[in-house]
Structure 1
Amino acid sequence: MARAMKVAIVDDEADMRASISQWLALSGFDTETYSSAEEALKVIGPEWPGVVVSDIKMPGMDGMAFLKRLMGMDSGLPVILITGHGDVPMAVEAMRIGAYDFLEKPFNPDRMTELAKRATQARRLTLDNRALRRELADGSVLMKKLIGGSPAMERLREDILDLGQADSHVLIDGETGTGKTLVAHALHAVGPRASKKFVTVSCAAWGEDQLAAKLFGPSEDGNLPLIEEARGGTLCLEDIESLSHPLQARLLTLINEQGTPPETRIIAICNEHAPDRTLEDALRPDLFYRLGAMTIICPPLRARGEDILTLFARASEQFSEEYGCDAPQVTAQEAAQLLQAPWPGNVRQLVNIAERAVLQNRRGSGSIASLLMADNENSGPAMTTEGKPLKEYVESFEKMLIDNTMRRHKGSITAVMDELCLPRRTLNEKMAKYGLQRQDYV
């Protein structure tokens, strides 16, 4: 379950601090109390994981000065002010400065709880978005998100590192749900433009006139055209196959006018094209050759072997933490079915099934096999035509079992030996064979 966010209660009256803290603590909040703004500022800083509830009338630094200090430090920090009846105009001014909301004394405790819940939700969203932006700017973090030890994923990571440094236009193709947008972000983050802007737009989400205005201007909303906004950085065009021929011509002109290396790097993503047509059929030949000189193909999940079990285990683990329940234990038969499934929706489909498996497990009903069967009824044959030797299935299941157990016991070799009934030497040999290292779990 998500950890309770903090609520800092700042008030010079001890009884008021105690009553607010007690009420919010009973409502599930993690409360901290401070007798003055100065005392609170010693603890509260940018990225502080919570919200602030403060009185306006306090000796020394009052609530308004405190608010200005907090907003100057982190404008996304929710601050709820408590005001007396005569201070309402001051509270309205505080809202203009950046306060989240205010409560007039005497206030309803339930109203306090409601405000605190909304404020903590807003804070959590702000912090999550900041963390996501940091991740999208950190090439090493993004590369770690490309999970898997299969040859296909090793090649993909090598391609990203090579083409990221090349700084030329890139075309990304592959089936739906294979992580093409993540690859585009990684290409930008590992290259020389990592500190510059990464601007993305879907060519399928807008009509031709709207898309032309967004890309090249003049923009109806007064914002810079995306071509200008991305100048010096990367412009990511999703659904490139949907770009009309007139706009393809304008894009080609822009590319031809740029020098080498290009002023703005173009990363084009193809999200879907007809089975009997290639992307080359959908684009002007001259544009295709300019964009497709460097191409990355994201591998389908069915071609990634035991990565399927690794991804399923990681997704199940994340959802079990989110929902506060145990992850389902995958049987040998279910592992074989996961490995054999066609996965037309690729990683996206696998993550959806993992979430449903966790929810089923929380209710104590259903199985992974039933989820796969239900999905396959809607997506085609239940198994791929490519068979594998039994030894490969056994080894994949064995690796998944050791990996899951090591994660559950946080790298405790003794606990893993006891659960799997393995002597230390055998466990060490199998971990070495599968490339599993204890330090990765501690």
Structure 2
Amino acid sequence: MPNAMKIAIIDDERDMRQSISQWLALSGYDTESFASAEDALKVLGPDYPGIVVTDIKMPGMGGMKFLKKLMGTDSSLPVIMITGHGDVPMAVEAMRLGAYDFLEKPFNPERMNELAKKATNARRLTLDNRALRRELSDGSQLMNKLIGVSPVMERLKEDILDLGQADGHVLIDGETGTGKTLVAHALHAVGARAGRKFVLLSCAAMEEEALSKRLFGPMNPEESQIPAVEEARGGTLVLEDIEALSDAMQARLLTFLNDEGTPPETRIVAICNMQDEGRSIEDALRPNLFYRLASLRITVPPLRSRGEDILTLFTRFADQFAEDYGCAAPQVDAQEAAQLLQAPWPGNVRQLINVAEQAVLQSRRGSGTIASLLMSDHQEMQPVMTTEGKPLKEYVEAFERMLIDNTMRRHKGSIAAVMDELCLPRRTLNEKMAKYGLQRGDYM
């Protein structure tokens, strides 16, 4: 079973512990057994990578007290209670206190397996969501996701670090697929509001009445969700597709901004996704709203302006997909590297991800080329190329960096193996790694 989760089994009866453990182990789970709740509590922390199966009646700390301790440590931890026939009311009370479910002795092992499967799936989802939330609140992790060493990417990172520390509202624009929402997350994560609420809302995803209620309220009494402006108070409110707001909604947003004062309690990060030829965000927003939102502005660069970052990104994504599909990543030759660098990438990074996945699938089948994936919908059998040429030196250096980077990763930082494969002397390899900013430690 891939990514098998742990199951902690707590029962004072040795035979019961062993039988449950053996059955679940046969089903692919990683089990560990404890003779008492006290022993188990030494191991079961707030991010325990699995679930708990425990008897209710035990000497010392009983199952109910044990459950309360676990819920106090991690209220999302699935706990399956095992009860005797006369203890069903106690098991029902345990579920009220947070237990996942209960099994009455003697229980069907298949029922145990069914419950374990549901509980571990729920636990895996909880832990994945926690990891994602931690990642989205970790500024260094998010900055690492902004891959690339091109001048435009270095400038973007500097802008994020500078503007992240500022108090004003921010307008983020750029072509579709460039990563504007990731930039918004990074702005929040590197700033003073990093530990506070981050609320993301698409202005184009709802009808105006529903959007007005979600953004400003009032919500219906039976609705548990509070308006976004209240939910994000003190933190960051990200409004995607800001250009989709009607005049009336723009007026309400402007009133909210005016009421916030300076510095604002809640920071607004507006994301513009306009693609209309000859029309800009200045045309779509009221002038007074535009100038309030665009006091600080970030334009995310298109992929075609990022030079050799294109090859770095393609390699990273191809490696990820190759791992997912259980096959080798495609090797890019010099001609294909030039084609990747020359393509106009109208869909930017999002399009590059799709091309990388398709390239992996083609490679697994042993057919197709990267050139075929870059064919234009408007040109028959002709690779799409940019109209602006680049010096040959740029193509050669970009390919050379990609080749060394790929080889270093494949050999996990072994300098001797890389020298042998690329037929390079040690000094030349060291000079080229220094030139391209490649560190051996990153591959080990």
Question: Same fold per TM (> 0.5)?
Answer: yes
The residue matched to 2:165 in structure 1 has which SS?
helix
Q: Deviations over 1:200-227 (max 9, x none)?
A: 2111112111211222221222543222
CA 1:26–1:309: 2 relative to 1, 3 Å:
farther
Cα offset, 1:307, TM superposition: 0.8
Residues in 2 aligned to 1:46 and 1:98: alpha-carbon distance in whole angstroms: 15
Tell me which residue corresponds to 2:170.
Answer: 170
Shift of 1:114: 3.2
Q: How far has the Cα of 1:237 moved from its partner?
A: 0.9
Q: Which residue of 1 aligns with 2:428?
A: 426
CA spacing shift, 1:61–1:146, aligned 2, 3 Å: same
Q: Does 1:382 align with 2:389?
A: no
State the one-letter code of the partner of 2:436: Y
- Residue matched to 1:181: 181
Residues 2 and 322 of structure 1 are in contact (CA less than 8 Å); yes or no, is this contact kept in structure 2? Answer: no
CA RMSD of aligned residues (A): 2.4
* 2:401 pairs with 1:399: yes
1:289 counterpart (272, 288, 291): 291
Question: Does the CA contact (< 8 Å) of 2:376 and 2:384 recur in 1?
Answer: no
Cα offsets for 1:110-147 (capped at 9, x unmatched): 43333323322222221121122122222222111111
TM-score, normalization by structure 1: 0.92
In the TM superposition, what are the counterparts of 1:7-406 in structure 2 within 5 Å?
A: 7-220=7-220, 221=223, 223-373=225-375, 382-406=384-408
Q: Distance in 1 between matches of 2:239 and 2:398?
A: 37
Distance 1:278 1:103 in 2: 62
- Indicate if the aligned counterparts of 2:54 and 2:63 stay in contact, CA closer than 8 A: yes
1:16 and 1:7 mapped to 2: Cα distance? Answer: 15
CA contact (8 A) 1:241 1:273 kept: no
CA offset at residue 20 of structure 1? 2.7
- Using the size of structure 2 for normalisation, the TM-score is 0.92
**Does the 8 Å CA contact 2:374/2:383 hold for their aligned counterparts?**
no
Distance across 1 between alignment mates of 2:22 and 2:421: 43
Q: Which amino acid aligns with 2:11?
A: D
Shift, 1:154, TM fit: 0.7
**Which sections of structure 1, spanning at least 5 residues, go unmatched?**
none
CA distance in 1, matches of 2:175, 2:405: 28
Letter in 2 for 1:275: E
Paired amino acid for 1:343: W
Question: Within 2, Cα distance between the matches of 1:151 and 1:131?
Answer: 31
Contact 2:81/2:103 (<8 A) preserved: yes
More deviation, 88-97/70-79: 88-97
**Deviation at 1:45?**
0.5
* Whole-angstrom distance in 1 between the partners of 2:119 and 2:90: 21
Equivalent pair of 1:376/1:382 in contact (CA under 8 Å): no
CA–CA separation in structure 2 for the residues paired with 1:415 and 1:94: 59
CA separation of 1:377 and 1:181: change in aligned 2, threshold 3 A: farther
Could you list the per-position Cα deviations for residues 350-377 of structure 1 after superposition, in whole angstroms to 9, with x for gaps in the alignment? 2233233334444555444443348887
Deviation string 1:7-49 (CA, Å, 9 cap, x unpaired) is 2222223333233323333333222222222111111101111
In the alignment, the residues of structure 2 paired with residue 439 and residue 430 of structure 1 have an alpha-carbon distance, to the nearest angstrom, of: 16
Paired position in structure 2 for 1:437: 439
Contact 1:179/1:298, CA 8 A, preserved across alignment = yes
Rounded to whole Å, the distance in 2 between the matches of 1:98 and 1:346 is 46
- Could you list the runs of 5+ residues in structure 2 that have no partner in the other structure? none
One-letter code aligned to 1:15: D
Number of positions where the alignment pairs a residue of Structure 1 with one of Structure 2: 441
**Structure 1 letter corresponding to 2:136:** L
Query: Once the 2 structures are TM-superposed, how far is the Cα of residue 173 of structure 1 from its aligned partner?
Result: 0.4
